[in-house]
Structure 1
Amino acid sequence: KDPPGPRPLPLLGNLLQLDPRRPHKALCELSKSYGPVFTVYFGIQKVVVLAGYKTVKEALVNNAEEFGDRDITPMFQDMNKGHGILFANGESWKELRRFALTTLRDFGMGKRIAEEKILEECDYLIQGLEKHQGNPVDLTCPLNYATSNIISSIVYGSRFDYDDPRFRNLVSRANETIRINGHPLTHLYNMFPRWFRWIKNRKIILNNVEMTVKDVKDLVKHLKETLNPSVCRGFVDCFLIKKQKEEDSCVKESHFTEQNLVFSVSNLFAAGTDTTATTLRWGLLLMAKYPHIQADKVHEELAKVLGGRQVRVDDRKNLPYADAVIHEIQRVANIIPMSIPHKTNRDVTFHGYLIQKGTTVIPLLASVLNDENEWESPHTFNPHHFLSKEGKFVKRDAFMPFSAGRRACLGESLAKMELFLFFTSLLQRFHFTPPPGVSEEELDLTPAMGF
């Protein structure tokens, strides 16, 4: 039998029961009525929702193969056409993900070389912020540029200047595309592609993709012209060398094509920019919202442990409170509340229900990060979720902002390092407050709307 769920209306499905501004909250509420595995209809599309830590883990980890495919929506298909790493399935995805993981690891993801890149970027970021001399500043662009440069240095082998027009355009297009993809109108197109092909959102996204592909091809062309097969400067070089080897060996149906290179680079750039920068913005907003945590706890611990010296990754073990704050920021920020949809690649019996092959599945990460069975005060910003009674850092099983299983974020270790080094470096140098005339109580923690 199918998982239970609210009765759908003809054509509309359960749309009237889903708040388009906060669909994840509506789904969390529905799970209270229908249990941790339930069915909803987005228009005529059947979707199975998984709610709560134990259920999501059981599906994505214990049944990783069955739930491991990506559901490629019409918009994602329009954007990527099956190329790249994020929105692909089958052998192409397996081989490209394996290659990306190996290459990113070789270029320091989680190693000392990445630490040096991040600390260098911290210096550029701090220098830029110091120029404002304590005046109000919108941190969106500076944080986006800083996090973008980390993935750029790993992908291309070098960073960009913050004033570089091409770099600025790449970053702004990536962020705009991610934002518009979450908009309810875009979701309408995904549900009814024939009826909503004309929407402005789709035109903006496809134009952004076209312009980004052109820029990436130009950057790849330059790297190809200066390529030294014995020295890899970054991901692109490694891909080009692998591509040439397969061509020389006459490998049939190689996945190392120019299209897969361009879209893999675009995927890595967008994913490596927006998520980390958005989490940092949430972190600084929360520090301004809770000045006692910022000043009495984080600043005090940083001063006591580091003095005036530069923070290093190895300091994390001696900064349990700062580490707990960063983890709690990720939990509360909850920046991908509905994950990126999965799809079953075979019929699977789960929790006594039959979920048919090809069914769209939403692992509701919001329900994991706010699971009342796992967190003492899930709806409160509380760093003590990650601290023992003795004040030592404690890992929590239900901490799952990077998802889990086969489709877990492949840049997780890099993102963790960035969050730790950027956050502690900024808090070591600055004190963050609301702009003049705004009190801490007036700071709005309502997230942006959408899917």
Structure 2
Amino acid sequence: MLQFLSPTTAILGLVLVFVVWFFTPKKPAKLPPGPPCKPIIGNLDRIKGEGNALLEHLTNLTGQYGDNGLCTLYFGHRANVFVNNYEIIKQMLNDDKYAGRPEGMFDIIFKRKGLLFTDGELWKEQRRFALSTLRDFGLGKTWLQDLILDEASELIGDLAAVDGQPINPTNYLTPSVSNVICAISYGQRFSHTDQRFRKLANLVGENVKLTARLRLVQIFPFLRHIPFSGWQEAFVALTTNMRQEVAFFRELIQDHKAHLEGELRDYIHAYLIEMDKQKTNPLSTFTEDQLEMAMLNLFGAGTETTSTTMTWAIIYLLENPDIYKKLQAEVDEVLPAGQYPTLDLRDRLPYMQAVIQEVQRMANLVPFAIRSPTEDVKIHGYEIPAGTIITPNLYAVHMDPQYFPEPQRFNPERFLDKEGNLKPKVEGFLPFSIGKRFCLGESLAKMELFIFFASLLSHFTFERASGRSFSSKKSVYGNVVNSPEYFEIIFEKRQY
């Protein structure tokens, strides 16, 4: 039949046939079951919704087409094994074989360096160093509590100065949270009015929105090259933001290099000392570009997650006034009027801690613990080749009625025992993930959430702004973090 076509048309036809063949998913026989695939797009036509609606939809797809909480979905031609089963998730995340990271869009930016989007020996060595160094520089220590209290005081001052006008809480929470990680990472804080610092903090929020727009680029990387497309525009903006952040950290690193004498004072200082120790080791992973990427990870993860959790908490309290009233009563009973909380008060505020945990469960800030096995593995009788994307679905566990009855209901009581004390452990509760890649900043985040949130409750009443609506059902999922849609509320100064 090709003889009836022009040479150009015939060649184009053959190229089209090859492209369709190449990009048509070729499912290995022993992967978990999933819905039928289409050429090139795989199962993308079945992926619907945004934010929380998307998370629910993906969870339901696994339940509909999967087996024992395991389901294979194809995003383009790449297999992605979703795992909803909590017992299997626990087994996987505690096994070294599942500690790998799949290749993706972030490799273009981070070049397999840093702390989040890397694996192998580099990741193991850098993570060990990060854990020990962060522990040495304050996690759980008195000076860090004092630092967070100082930031809480400045936050309260910033909100009081707004004088009851409708505002987006994120714009005020982010600089305070950022300053805490700044103090640990490079030994200084910044004024909230410092324009360079505010720009840096704002970039974190912008990057979350940009990554949400780049979801298809994660699947089809070539899309970022299409001229005048939204994908190219978003990718250029994201990489530009990252370069600005790196330039900021590079300047701090150079300043530290000129002042290495004296006791260790922050993460950069400790890292540069370790670099110097290993300068004759040709296999050392301690390099300046690795430090820059690690700083990018620490700043982004240490800022966005905590500030976003607090914005979710405000939304859930306003949607549940009875819970808000009960929480406010507990805080007023323990904290003197207009005072700030210290960590020794945590046991006296069990309901507040339960509220924070329920916010974390419902908000599902980081809903997926994306992994890639470093070798061929078997799960529940299925064979998963090395390098396959595996997605433990933490959202599915948090919404599983087996562990959380009436999972769609905001109910802090599920984290309290019969005497009203905070339960030491609730099975299925995974806000910081578990296993080999649990969140580096878990201890810090718990300290910040307690001090910042109790301070807000002690000094302000949260009120809906007239004519402005919002809902906990609506969110934006940006490939990593699940954030509320933009909203504004009023912080009304409490009168004592």
TM-score w.r.t. the length of structure 1 is: 0.94
Question: Which whole-Å CA distance do the structure 2 matches of 1:349 and 1:260 have between them?
Answer: 33
* CA–CA separation in structure 1 for the residues paired with 2:167 and 2:137: 33
Change (3 A) 1:23 1:450: farther
Please give the secondary structure, in 2, of the residue aligned with 1:182. Answer: helix
Report the 3-state secondary structure (helix = DSSP H, G, I; strand = E; otherwise coil) of the residue aligned with 2:98: coil
Corresponding residue for residue 208 of structure 2: 178
> Conserved in 2, the CA contact under 8 Å of 1:78 and 1:206?
no
Within 1, Cα distance between the matches of 2:478 and 2:304? 16
Q: Is the 8 A contact 1:12 1:42 kept in 2?
A: yes
Partner residue of 2:316 out of 283, 286, 289: 286
Residues 1:265 and 1:428: Cα distance change in structure 2 (over 3 Å): same
Question: Residue 239 of structure 1 aligns with which residue?
Answer: 271
Deviation readout 1:170-227 (Å, 9 max, x if unpaired): 11222212322133xx121121222443321111111111222111111211222233
Q: Which amino acid counterpart does residue 187 of structure 2 have in structure 1?
A: G
Does 1:360 find its partner at 2:389?
Answer: yes
Relative to structure 1, the CA distance from residue 287 to residue 314 in structure 2 (aligned partners, 3 Å threshold; closer, same or farther) is same
- After TM superposition, the structure 1 = structure 2 runs for residues 207-356 of structure 1, keeping only pairs within 5 Å, are 207-228=240-261, 230-247=262-279, 250-295=280-325, 297-308=326-337, 309-339=339-369, 341-356=370-385
C-alpha distance in 2 between matches for 1:399 and 1:322: 17
Q: Matched residues in 1 for 2:466 and 2:443: separation?
A: 37
Please give the root-mean-square deviation of Cα atoms over the aligned residues, in Å: 1.5
Contact 1:220–1:236 under 8 Å retained in 2: yes
% identity of equivalent residues: 38
Range with greater deviation from structure 2 (397-406 or 97-106): 397-406
**1:367-398 per-position Cα deviation (integer Å, ceiling 9, x unaligned):** 01111211012111111111123222123121
Secondary structure at the counterpart of residue 80 of structure 2: strand
The alpha-carbon deviation at position 437 of structure 1 amounts to: 4.3
SS in 1 for 2:81: strand
Partner of 1:125: 155
Cα deviation 1:225-276 (Å, max 9, x = unaligned): 2332x312210000011111212xx112211110011110111000000011
Within the candidate set 57, 63, 68, 1:26 is matched to: 57
Distance 2:59 2:76 in 1: 19
Number of residue pairs matched by the alignment:
438
Aligned residue number for residue 195 of structure 2: 165
Aligned residue type for 1:381: F
For 1:426 and 1:187, the matched residues in 2 are separated by: 35
Q: CA deviation at 1:449?
A: 4.8
Residues 1:411 and 2:444 are matched in the alignment = no
**CA-CA distance at 1:347 after TM superposition:** 0.9
Alpha-carbon distance between aligned partners in 2 of 1:204 and 1:437, rounded to the nearest angstrom:
32
How far apart in 2 are the matches of 1:7 and 1:160? 54
Structure 2 residues without counterparts, runs of 5 or longer: 1-29, 227-231, 480-496
**Contact 1:72/1:88 (8 A) holds in 2:** no
The one of the two structures with greater contact order (alpha-carbon pairs below 8 A, sep at least 6) is 1
Alpha-carbon distance in structure 2 between the residues aligned to 1:11 and 1:78 = 22
Q: Give the conservation status (yes or no) of the 8 Å contact 2:212–2:476.
A: no
Normalized against structure 2, the TM-score is what? 0.85
| Contact 1:342-1:360 at 8 Å conserved across structures | yes
Q: Report the counterpart of residue 444 of structure 1 in structure 2.
A: 471
Q: Which runs of 5+ in 1 are unaligned?
A: none
1:188–1:196 CA contact under 8 A, matched in 2:
no
1:136-180 CA distance string (max 9 Å, x none): 222111101011011001001111111112212211222212322
